[in-house]
Chains A and B, each alone.
Chain A
Amino acid sequence: MVVEVMDMILWTLYFSFLGAVLVLLLPGRAAKWAALSVAVATLAAAFAGASEYMSVSAQAPWVTLAKSPWIPSLGISWHLAADGISITLVLLTALASVAGVLFSWNVAHRPKEFFALYLTLIGGVYGVFFSVDLFLFMVFYEIAIIPKYFLIAVWGSTRREYGAMKLALYSFIGSALSLAGILAAYAVAGGHTFDLLELASYPFPPQFQYWAFPLVFVGFAILAGMWPFHTWAPTGHVAAPTAASMLLAGVVMKLGAYGCLRVAMPLFPIGLEEWSLFFAGLGVVGIIYGALVALAQTDFKFVIGYSSVSHMGFVILGLMTLNAVGLQGAVMQMFSHGVIAGLLFAVVGRMVYDRTHTRELSELGPMQLYRSMPFVTVVFVLAGLASMGLPGFSGFVAELMIVVGAWRGIPWMAVMAGLGILLAAAYTLRVMQLAFFGYGDNSSENSHSDMSKIDAISWPEKTGAVLLLAASLCVGLRPSLLLDLIAPAMNTPLVQVILKGAGS
């Protein structure tokens, strides 16, 4: 029984790919309904799987979902498994995908293709989170690249073709780097298997690990938006249509961080130890740099784009603390940032931009949106507070855990990360003020009349916003909801390798 219910979580993967085909076959008007039902179905499957995992996690933190040979001559198998980390991210993906469909309810231009690509992207993401075989991992990882390109290039806005191409090339270069390292590991380990569990138990020579680790790690970290390879993120996010930027910030950047945690770190524990201080430093630079740049932006969406870079810096720092608190914090932060950044992009891209047709803070200010869009303002204020890491929201728990984890290892980095939290408050409050409340009240009368005829906030937008806010609040008020999932995963072999390597 247990096994069968756990298998249900794999339906997230199958539903998404089948849904993509289904959407193409249905008439265009039904596309969004089909996509929504697929997304809701995957959310249900993800919740069912997660609750079942909770009940077995104490005995079996690592659950094999499927294993059968695929390309035996290279030692490649269809090997899927889940632990608390991947289930957390699957939950995040499911939430983000439902919200993304809701916030794309007004896509009228080529809707069939939009939702088909959208579901393909989601399917690739689920596949990465379940893959244990490294070939399979890379297959899903690269399947996710091409839909991103088209989603941005066709349905995007500001400099969309540039942003899309930059994003696609950065992703592809990153995956090529990781692939090179993985292939080298395969060859060094004798060329029998691509199974992560078997490769992770192979003692790679230290000399090899010293250069293979940064190769694979940087390859994945490019997609996680690690400074100085983050530049695809702001341009990509800004160019993307709302749902795509929600997925990019919410889920795709986590693919990179997940690759670091699942592949690069357990494969090369000695290399990891050697390099951890360096990459922790890059993480901290990312936190501070992203926050400072966000502080100086004049485009609403760029503020959120750079804030993503800053928040993902926390994830990198959390991973590099190499202790259980820091790692759990990093996974929490992935979830938290996924939900909050998704919400922020939804507010900027869908709720504000689609109605005002500008994202310039200097033009938004005089409109005094808090009068014409009270709901949006409340949502943004709440999301902004969550993004700042105020207690009660998920961001607080996550960042606190990362800072505590960093304090145990590298205290001065914890101090710098704390500074980053302060800066986050600064840029969030600044953009909140400039975008929604404006300066003074001299031009308020006429602009208020301009804004009186804007469309009301529709039910899908309200549902999506409430869904994401509720997720952040639930986790913030009761962190054990997620921690009960993540903590058992610290006992799986792949995480133990990391923790033990650091302890010895």
Chain B
Amino acid sequence: MNYGDLLRAFSAETLLVLFAGVIAFADGWLARKGRAEQLRHQIASGLLLLACAGAGWSLVRVTPPCMLPDGMIVSTDVGIHLKGVILVLLSFTGLIAAGTVRTHHIGEFYILLILSAIGMFVMLSTENLLMAFVALELASIALYILAGFDKKDVRSAEAAMKYFLFGGVAAAFLLFGLSLVYGLTGSLDVRVVGRSLSHMPASPLLLTATVMVMAGFAFKIAAAPFHLWAPDAYEGAPVSVAAFVASASKVAGFALFVKLLTVGFPGTFLTRNGLWDAPSWMSLAVLLSVFSMIWGNVAALKQKSVKRLLAYSAVAHAGYMLIGVLAAPKLGSNALLYYAVTYALATVGAFGAVAAVEKSCGSDKLDAFAGLMRRSPFLAICMAAFILSLAGIPPLAGFFGKFYLFAAILKMDGSSLCRFWLAGLALATSCVSLYYYLQILKQVFVVEKEDADTIGLDTPLRWVLGLAAAGVLAAGLFPEALLRVL
């Protein structure tokens, strides 16, 4: 493979980097001219959209199938489709940000968003432990900075600090675990690692490596009990950043980890006396899933801030998605990815709606949503679509997502995972979740507020909400179309 091929293989990423540069120059020039911040936002987000469109075009047209040695880059169809999803989420985030982020460093904001997306792109196409770690850090570090972007708000600084500290510790865990794996197998290529580990008897070293990797993983996806950063980060960070953290980084994170775990780590360990299937990554994932579903759903019941509520519900959804990770080695990651993508779409929309309400009322408390149906019917109906999809009500995508996940885990056979109990717990906790989701919708539709004024939506936000709601509905009505490409 020569450099020309390499450039074509990376054309989408390259285009994104180039556009990041263009944004830097354009915004710097406008800033020196002393132009209004609104104009700078519009131009930067317009360029971001262009970048997404260009990258999307190059994904469809240019990118050849590519396979670098040591699994550095392995492009697959699923990976390319997920990159498309990331681009959609990136452009939605950019459009939400254009009307809501309060900062003087406008160009930097969009550049960091793009850099984070590039990290996610590499996460989606690598099968190499070191590359995966670097990509994960690229995506995360950009997000740490973005979380603290609202410099006038002390909560934003707190969000960034917490997110950074927890994320940093998680990275250390993950790197430690991965280096132990490297020490055990002598390879960074996930496929080689998988082959050697499956022949290796369980040892304390291997167990330590597994636990460390799973701990790092749990931090990144905000699974309980490693979720403590999430509520503060979601609440304090600018809404658009929270939307990106909750959606795109979830999709990329789950796609990466399910790849690493199913290919690299055997589901059962060999011992001297045959098969010993308890403490592999699967049993850890069961524990994380159970904790997340219970903790996330119960803690969400008490929340008054919608952003915190969405954060705890994100913890719960991470628990559901872990079920998909468990089903993946036998049945493929189809169910997980469908769930992750539709969840991301609903979440980005929900945060978009929160951004609109927060902009007009200055609060994201539940009662700020009171009477939303009267104040902005369009916003209210979109919000209903997102929340009901998160709650898993048909015909929205969330229902089929949950249905498919639970069907997948029940279809797995012959494992000691208490699969029926896991599915039963998931169903039970989703009943709990209906309560707090209905609390939001009660404010939106039932409570009436006479004095509240109407909420004006700017056009980009209107498009984001409308498209995300339509996407959630379409994915629920025609799941097959999405399943075929994942």
Contact = CB atoms under 8 A, between A and B. Distances in A.
Interface stretch (B162-170, B244-252, B423-431, B460-468): B423-431
Interface in B358-417: 373, 388, 393-395, 399-400, 403-404, 406-407, 410-411
A176 B427 contact: yes
B445 interface: yes
Contacts of B427: 176-177, 179-180
A39 interface: no
A471 interface: no
B431 A153 contact: no
A172 B388 CA distance: 13
B446 interface: yes
A73 B483 contact: yes
A171 B96 CA distance: 36
Contacts of B438: 149, 165, 168
Contact of A145 (B393, B395, B410, B445): B393
A72 interface: yes
A143 B442 CA distance: 17
Contacts of B431: 169, 172-173, 176
B420 A184 contact: yes
Contact of B403 (A135, A150, A184): A135
Contact of A146 (B334, B388, B411): B388
A169 B435 contact: yes
A161 interface: yes
Contacts, number: 77
Interface string A100-134: 00000000000001000000000000000000000
Contacts of A135: 403
A142 B430 CA distance: 13
Given A169-B431, A173-B431, A73 B442 contact: no
Interface in A167-223: 168-169, 172-173, 176-177, 179-180, 183-184, 186-187, 191
Contacts of A187: 407, 410-411
B200 interface: no
B131 to A, nearest CB: 32
B394 A142 contact: yes
B395 A70 contact: no
A139 interface: yes
B474 to A, nearest CB: 14
Interface string B439-451: 0011001100000
A6 to B, nearest CB: 25
B434 A168 contact: yes
A165 B435 contact: yes
Contacts of A184: 410, 420
A429 to B, nearest CB: 38
B442 to A, nearest CB: 6
Contact of A150 (B404, B411, B446, B480): B446
B483 A71 contact: yes
A191 B407 contact: yes
B433 to A, nearest CB: 10
A139 B397 CA distance: 11
B471 interface: no
A146 B393 contact: yes
Residue from B388, B395, B434, B479 whose CB has the most chain A CB atoms within 10 Å: B434
Contacts of A186: 407, 410-411
A183 B394 contact: no
A74 interface: yes
B146 to A, nearest CB: 35
Interface residues of B, number: 31
Nearest to B410: A187
A138 interface: yes
A165 B411 CA distance: 33
Nearest to A154: B446
A45 B393 CA distance: 28
A183 B423 contact: yes
Given A139-B395, A176-B427, A176-B431, A153 B442 contact: yes
Contact of A176 (B411, B430, B442, B483): B430
Contacts of A177: 427
A241 to B, nearest CB: 13
B115 to A, nearest CB: 36
Nearest to A149: B438
Contact of A143 (B395, B479, B480): B395
Interface string B68-90: 00000000000000000000000
Interface string A149-171: 11001100000010001001100
Contacts of B423: 180, 183
Given A146-B388, A183-B423, A138 B434 contact: no
A74 B407 contact: yes
Contacts of A191: 407, 411
Contact of B394 (A71, A72, A74, A138): A138
A70 B434 contact: no
Given A113-B373, A169-B435, A180-B427, A71 B446 contact: no
B480 A72 contact: yes
Contacts of A154: 445-446
Interface string B17-54: 00000000000000000000000000000000000000
Nearest to B381: A24
B428 A176 contact: yes
A275 to B, nearest CB: 19
A194 B77 CA distance: 29
A51 B480 CA distance: 37
B388 to A, nearest CB: 7
Contacts of A150: 441, 445-446
Nearest to A215: B424
Given A113-B373, A176-B431, A142 B399 contact: yes
Nearest to B428: A176
B406 A183 contact: yes
A165 B410 CA distance: 30
Contacts of B445: 113, 150, 153-154
Given A135-B403, A153-B446, A180-B423, A71 B480 contact: yes
A176 B442 CA distance: 22
A150 B442 CA distance: 8
A71 B420 CA distance: 24
A141 to B, nearest CB: 9
A73 B394 contact: no
Residue from A71, A172, A177 whose CB has the most chain B CB atoms within 10 Å: A172
A113 B334 CA distance: 38
B480 A70 contact: yes
A113 B445 CA distance: 10
Contacts of B399: 139, 142
Nearest to B406: A183
B405 to A, nearest CB: 10
Residue from B407, B428, B435 whose CB has the most chain A CB atoms within 10 Å: B407
A200 B395 CA distance: 25
Given A73-B483, A169-B434, A176-B430, 20 more contacts: A74-B404, A135-B403, A142-B394, A142-B399, A143-B394, A143-B395, A145-B393, A149-B438, A150-B441, A153-B446, A165-B435, A169-B435, A172-B434, A180-B424, A183-B407, A184-B410, A184-B420, A186-B407, A186-B410, A191-B407
Interface of B: 334, 373, 388, 393-395, 399-400, 403-404, 406-407, 410-411, 420, 423-424, 427-428, 430-431, 434-435, 438, 441-442, 445-446, 479-480, 483
29 contacts: A71-B400, A71-B479, A71-B480, A73-B483, A74-B407, A139-B399, A140-B394, A142-B393, A143-B394, A146-B393, A149-B438, A150-B441, A153-B446, A165-B435, A168-B438, A169-B435, A172-B431, A173-B431, A176-B427, A176-B428, A176-B430, A177-B427, A179-B406, A180-B424, A183-B403, A183-B410, A184-B420, A186-B407, A191-B407
Lowest 6 CB-CB distances: which A-B pairs, in order?
A187-B410, A139-B394, A176-B427, A191-B411, A153-B446, A173-B431
Interface of A: 70-74, 113, 135, 138-140, 142-143, 145-146, 149-150, 153-154, 161, 165, 168-169, 172-173, 176-177, 179-180, 183-184, 186-187, 191
